């Protein structure tokens, strides 16, 4: 949930270890039908063709056949992609998913959605016209340089070959842009200039470590210089581009609802979830007020309470935030938390933890540095079995003010909730279960609302089970944390669909969600260059809570929390609505499962 490491969180959901590739052979005649076997074969062919058209994406998930390719972002290549989606939808139409295993039914729905989404992106969203940051190719080059999936010399050769496309790539990018969004233009300039070091120094540093002949090295370095020049040139082009009628950074209601439908794949519309979020905010404020009034005498004695309820809550949170570790103890505090969480989950019988898959805690690697806090790193779906790492950042070198502000945010209470969210029983546990339900489709197109929703849900589940001894302080802080997910949604929808002005947004975040000014400003920056991303936390949380209620009703006196958790997790990182269909056996009644 630390916004700056969200990118890493996306990769968390892509993680899958060894078992994944065994899928075809493991779906045998005992459980799957002939149709299932045919469909699994189709999935393999689908992916091979898909990666060819999406080489950068392929690299990022550990499929390295096309590392040396960079497709030119022209109309012709978009037509190819569009044609691909039509062919695939046609192929999918020949199956009858009603006869499939549950897992294949989900894959089927996920693939249909993905093909529809890609068509919509090309034909309706058209970000290639207005989002200059969509042309940033540097991330994949950095990935090839930093991830040790192949010998260095081989990776550097791919890097070298991929660079040959850079001049044509950016020439085309400049042609495609039309009235780009100002905020995205600024972001693109910053990202392109910020990433130059990959070509100007990192590549050269890596070359020195190989035995590649000097003459070849020289060619490679020359091309890196050309690449850096082209990228700098693109940034210059953006800076000087005439743009009298820039498109608004606000997506608008129609595009937003569609993007929400394809990306979040919820059973409700964005507007419906927005309405629920507004209600949830009121409910949380009410609960926080009760807790704050109760805690007041303990911390403030006879001091009179402010008349404004939000002010009472604000002062309580401010006071409790002072309870935090020293900057130098931050990593150790997180490391110490994990065995406690494991013990609690086991003692309360919340979900079975796999002792053969220990979580490795490590200091944040250099290339992630600068982002303190905690995040998960896991290998991509195609990578062979690797550890998952819980990266813990260091606050070394931070100014005392910055460290203090950060530590107040990640105070003693929130630190524990953070470990629940990221690790146990949050993201890490979800991953272990996901890996036991191997499906390349669910890993590659993993659903962010399911993944983030589970992490948010697991925080409440732990507190409900008595984690933190039911202390009102702990609950108050959790509500603050939960309010962040809720306000993320209200902010995203408000800004993109309801024209929410910056000042109202900042006021909501600081006054009603009790965030620091700097945090609120950062959030504003994020919402002005992304859309829908911030919806996944609350939407997923809400859908899981709703599903659990339905499941309780269905199971009646046979209901058991652990069974619910394990059953829910057993389907892998699929959209909650598809898991819901499977758990409540909706399709059997309807007789037509191919929903998307």
Whether the CB-CB separation of 355 and 327 falls below 8 Å is answered with: no
Q: 């294949």: which residue's tokens?
A: 104
Query: Considering beta carbons, is residue 1 or 351 the nearer one to Zn ion?
Result: 1
CB 480 within 8 A of CB 288: yes
Stretch in the footprint of Zn ion (CB under 5 A) among 3-11, 503-511, 552-560, 569-577 = 3-11
Closer Cβ to Zn ion, 1 or 17, answer by number:
1
Triad 300, 306, 310: Cα angle to 5°: 105
CB of 21 to Zn ion, least distance (A): 27
Size of the site for Zn ion (CB under 5 A): 4
Q: Which stretch binds Zn ion (CB under 5 A): 327-335, 382-390, 452-460, 545-553?
A: 452-460
Nearer to Zn ion, 455 or 495 (CB): 455
Stretch that binds Zn ion, among 178-186, 190-198, 449-457, 578-586 (CB under 5 A): 449-457
Phi, psi of 377 (to 5 degrees): -125, 135
The distance of closest approach from Cβ of residue 220 to Zn ion in the complex, given in angstroms and rounded to an integer, is 39
**How far from chain centre, in Å, is Cα 133?**
18
Range 93-112, binding Zn ion (CB under 5 A): none
Q: Is 423 in the site for Zn ion (CB under 5 A)?
A: no
8 Å CB contact between 155 and 212: no
| Residue 309: CB minimum distance to Zn ion, A | 26
**Cβ within 8 Å of residue 33, ≥6 positions away:** 99, 100, 101
* CA separation for the pair 149, 254 (Å, rounded): 42
Query: Which position's Cβ is nearest Zn ion?
Result: 455
To the nearest whole angstrom, how small is the minimum distance from the Cβ of residue 60 to Zn ion? Answer: 19
Nearer to Zn ion, 352 or 405 (CB): 405
Q: Which stretch binds Zn ion (CB under 5 A): 34-42, 189-197, 208-216, 445-453?
A: 445-453
Q: Which stretch binds Zn ion (CB under 5 A): 94-102, 105-113, 279-287, 454-462?
A: 454-462
Kindly state the smallest distance separating residue 394's Cβ from Zn ion, in Å. 18
Tell me the three state secondary structure of residue 28.
coil
Shortest distance, position 513 Cβ to Zn ion, whole Å = 17
Q: How far apart are CA 238 and CA 240, in angstroms?
A: 6
**Cα angle at 351 between 345 and 356, to 5 degrees?**
85
Q: What is the closest distance, in whole angstroms, from the C-beta atom of residue 407 to Zn ion in the complex?
A: 6
Strand-strand pairing, 389-392 and 374-377: antiparallel
- Spatial separation of the C-alpha atoms in residues 90 and 235, rounded to whole Å: 41
**Shortest Cβ 403–Zn ion spacing (Å):** 9
Radius of gyration in angstroms for the set of CA atoms belonging to the chain, rounded to a whole number:
25
Cβ–Cβ under 8 Å, residues 294 and 383: no
Residues 53, 71 contacting (CB under 8 angstroms): yes
Residue 334 CB coordination number (10 Å): 24
If the CB atoms of residues 9 and 20 are measured against Zn ion, the closer one turns out to be 9
**449 touches Zn ion (CB under 5 A):** no
Considering only residues 4 through 63, tell me which ones interact with Zn ion, judged by CB under 5 A: 9
Output the smallest distance, CB 408 to Zn ion, in A: 6
Beta carbon of residue 224, minimum distance to Zn ion (angstroms, whole number): 36
Closest CB to Zn ion among residues 9, 316: 9
DSSP string computed for 355-370:
TTSPPEEEEPPGGGTT
User: Taking CB under 5 A as the criterion, which residues in 305-344 touch Zn ion?
Assistant: none
Dihedral sign, CA of 140, 144, 149, 155? positive
Of 1 and 417, nearer to Zn ion (C-beta) is 1
Q: Which helix (H) or strand (E) holds 308?
A: none
The distance of closest approach from Cβ of residue 231 to Zn ion in the complex, given in angstroms and rounded to an integer, is 32
Q: Which residue lies nearer to Zn ion by CB, 12 or 115?
A: 12
Looking at beta carbons only, is 9 or 374 nearer to Zn ion?
9
Q: How far is the CB of 338 from Zn ion (least distance, A)?
A: 16
Query: Binding segment for Zn ion among 34-42, 90-98, 360-368, 444-452 (CB under 5 A)?
Result: 444-452
What is the Cα–Cα distance from 71 to 51, expressed in whole angstroms? 12
Q: Which of 423, 451, 446 is nearest to 353 (CA)?
A: 423
Between 268 and 409, name the residue whose CB sits nearer to Zn ion.
409
CB of 324 to Zn ion, least distance (A): 6
Query: Which residue number, 324 or 595, has a Cβ lying nearer to Zn ion?
Result: 324
- Hey, CA dihedral for 570, 575, 577, 582, is it positive or negative? negative
Stretch in the footprint of Zn ion (CB under 5 A) among 1-9, 39-47, 223-231, 559-567: 1-9
Of the pair 177, 534, the CB lying nearest Zn ion is at 534
Compute CA distances 576 → 161, 171, 178, 464, 532, whole Å. Answer: 41, 42, 37, 22, 17
Residue among 155 and 480 whose Cβ is closer to Zn ion: 480
Contact between 455 and Zn ion (CB under 5 A)? yes
In the region spanning residues 335 to 394, those forming contacts with Zn ion, defined by CB under 5 A, are: none
Binding site for Zn ion (CB under 5 A): 1, 9, 452, 455
């Amino acid at each position: 949930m630390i916004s700056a490491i969200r990118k890493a969180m996306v990769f968390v959901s892509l993680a899958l270890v060894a078992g994944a590739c065994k899928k075809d052979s493991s779906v045998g005649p005992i459980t799957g039908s002939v149709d299932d076997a045919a469909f699994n074969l189709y999935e393999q062919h689908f992916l091979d063709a898909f990666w060819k058209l999406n080489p950068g994406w392929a690299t990022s998930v550990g499929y390295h056949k096309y590392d040396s390719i960079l497709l030119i972002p022209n109309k012709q290549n978009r037509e190819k992609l569009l044609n691909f989606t039509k062919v695939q939808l046609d192929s999918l139409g020949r199956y009858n998913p009603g006869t499939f295993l549950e897992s294949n039914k989900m894959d089927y729905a996920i693939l249909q959605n993905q093909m529809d989404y890609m068509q919509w992106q090309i034909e309706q969203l058209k970000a290639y016209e207005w989002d200059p940051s969509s042309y940033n190719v540097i991330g994949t080059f950095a990935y090839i340089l930093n991830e040790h999936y192949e010998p260095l010399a081989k990776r550097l050769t791919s890097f070298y070959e991929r660079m040959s496309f850079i001049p044509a790539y950016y020439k085309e990018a400049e042609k495609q842009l039309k009235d780009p969004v100002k905020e995205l233009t600024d972001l693109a300039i910053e990202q392109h200039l910020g990433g130059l070091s990959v070509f100007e120094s990192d590549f050269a540093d890596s070359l020195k470590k190989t035995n590649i002949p000097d003459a070849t090295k020289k060619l490679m370095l020359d091309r890196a210089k050309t690449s850096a020049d082209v990228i700098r040139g693109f940034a210059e082009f953006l800076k000087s581009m005439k743009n009298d009628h820039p498109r608004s950074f606000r997506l608008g209601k129609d595009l937003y609802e569609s993007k929400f439908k394809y990306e979040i794949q919820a059973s409700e519309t964005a507007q419906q979830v927005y309405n629920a979020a507004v209600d949830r905010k009121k409910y949380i404020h009410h609960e926080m007020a009760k807790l704050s009034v109760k805690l007041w005498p303990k911390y403030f004695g006879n001091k009179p309470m402010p008349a404004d309820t939000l002010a009472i809550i604000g002062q309580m949170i401010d006071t409790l935030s002072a309870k935090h570790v020293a900057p130098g103890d931050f990593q150790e505090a997180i490391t110490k938390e994990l065995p406690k969480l494991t013990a609690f989950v086991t003692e309360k019988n919340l979900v079975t933890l796999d002792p053969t898959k220990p979580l490795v805690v490590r200091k944040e690697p250099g290339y992630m540095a600068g982002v303190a806090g905690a995040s998960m790193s896991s290998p991509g779906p195609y990578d062979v079995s690797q550890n998952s790492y819980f990266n813990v950042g260091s606050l070394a070198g931070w100014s005392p003010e910055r460290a203090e502000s950060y530590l107040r945010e990640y105070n003693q209470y929130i630190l524990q909730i953070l470990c629940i969210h990221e690790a146990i029983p949050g993201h890490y546990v979800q991953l272990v279960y996901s890996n036991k339900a191997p499906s390349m489709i669910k890993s590659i197109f993993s659903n962010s609302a399911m993944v983030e929703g589970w992490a948010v849900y697991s925080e409440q589940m732990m507190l409900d089970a008595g984690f933190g001894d039911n202390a009102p302080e702990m609950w108050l802080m959790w509500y603050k944390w939960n309010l962040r997910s809720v306000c993320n949604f209200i902010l995203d929808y408000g800004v993109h669909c309801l024209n929410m002005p910056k000042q109202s947004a900042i006021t909501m975040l600081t006054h009603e969600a009790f965030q620091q000014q700097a945090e609120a400003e950062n959030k504003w920056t994020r919402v002005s260059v992304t859309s829908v991303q911030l919806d996944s936390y609350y939407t997923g949380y809400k859908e899981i809570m709703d599903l659990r209620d339905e499941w309780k009703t269905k199971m009646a006196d046979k209901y058991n929390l652990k069974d619910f958790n394990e059953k829910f997790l057993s389907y892998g990182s699929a959209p909650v609505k598809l898991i819901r269909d499977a758990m409540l056996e909706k399709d059997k009644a309807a007789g037509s499962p191919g929903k998307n």
